[in-house]
Amino acid sequence: MKISNRDLIQLSSYLDGELNPREKVKIEERLKQEPVLQLALDELRQTKKTLLQTPILKIPRNFKLTPAMVGIKPRPRPARGYRLVSAMMTFLLIGVLVLDFGRFFMYGAMAPAAPKEVMLEAVSDSAVEALEEPALLEAEGNMEADRDVAELEAGAPQEEAPAVAAEALEEGESVDFAHDTAGKSTEERSTDIAANQVDEWQEEEAVEDLALPSQTHTPEIAATIIPEPPASEFVPDEEIHELERMPASIDPFRVLELILGFGAVTFGVAAWVIKRKRS
């Protein structure tokens, strides 16, 4: 015997305790009287029990949401930008270093420090001149004696000409000397200066016979000159330090290298710190 739809609904609701008290009493009376209803109820109960035993499946993956899934724009990531800037500055630094070294090999070791060396050289020249100053001053002091000698030697005025020529030669060599020493190292220049010094003295000795007594180096002066160290050491320390402090002597390549190096390290460290904080 087949049960009706209505009875089936009543039995199903009775099984779940969803009937009101009146309906519940009514169906319970029928269940006692109708075995078919009881059998149908038992089958529904067994089905419900089976369904309740349905295994719980393991989830295949996590379903956590990401900002992109819910349309949240991710915040800009400064760490990425910092890393990019750091990398760019590093590449630029490498480029600048390559250029710097290229310049070094192309123009020699003096090239980067040329302005300072030229200045030092100029100072060396003035030191050489200063070395000769005492003799000249002394010569000025003997002008009276010169005049007397000149009067005595009035008959031989042509002998003064070689003295003037010798002075001119001396000055000319001084200029040439300055020109020649450009582009040489300090030691080389020191050697050159010393060599030139000796040459000058030899020339002066050669001219001595033709010159006025005041224009002739006395043995005392020569004695003070010969044992002197190279010309570069005659430059007063104060002057050298002053030159080193001159802002005009800072190489722009060095400044650029410093800026790029500092920037690359700073941005790299900042990116690392941000990344570390996030993790």
Partner 1 sequence: MMDLQDQIKKSLEGDLESFNQIILSFQSLVYNQAYRIIGEPDAAADATQEAFISAYKKLHTYRGGSFKSWLLRIVSNACYDEYRRRKRKPVVPLYPEGEDGDEMDSASWLEDPSEKPEDTVQRRELSEAIQYCLDRLEYEFRAIVVLVDIQGLDYATAAEITDRPLGTVKSRLARARNNLKDCLRGFKELLPLGLRHVGEV
Secondary structure in 3-state letters for 159-176: HHHHHHHHHHHHHHHHHH
Q: Which is nearer to partner 1, 9 or 258 (CB)?
A: 9
Report, in Å, the least distance between residue 275 CB and partner 1: 19
Q: Which CB sits closer to partner 1, 11 or 211?
A: 11
Residues at the site binding partner 1, with contacts judged by CB under 8 A: 5, 8-9, 11-13, 16, 18, 39, 42-44, 46-65, 67, 69-70, 72
Nearer to partner 1, 13 or 90 (CB): 13
Compute the least distance from the CB of residue 279 to partner 1, in Å.
15
**What whole-number distance in Å separates Cα of residue 277 and Cα of residue 20?**
62
Cβ-based nearer residue to partner 1, 23 or 28: 23
Contact 197, 225 (CB under 8 A): yes
Shortest Cβ 3–partner 1 spacing (Å): 9
Pick the closer one to partner 1 by CB: 67 or 213: 67
Gyration radius from the chain CA atoms: 54
Phi/psi-derived region of residue 152, left when phi > 0, alpha when psi is between -120 and 50, beta in every other case: alpha
Smallest distance, partner 1 to C-beta of residue 24, A: 14
Half-sphere exposure of 222 (CA within 13 A, CB side): 12
Q: Taking Cα atoms as reference points, which of 259, 254, 261 lies closest to residue 104?
A: 254
In angstroms, what is the minimal distance from the CB of 26 to partner 1?
16
DSSP-assigned letter for residue 153: T
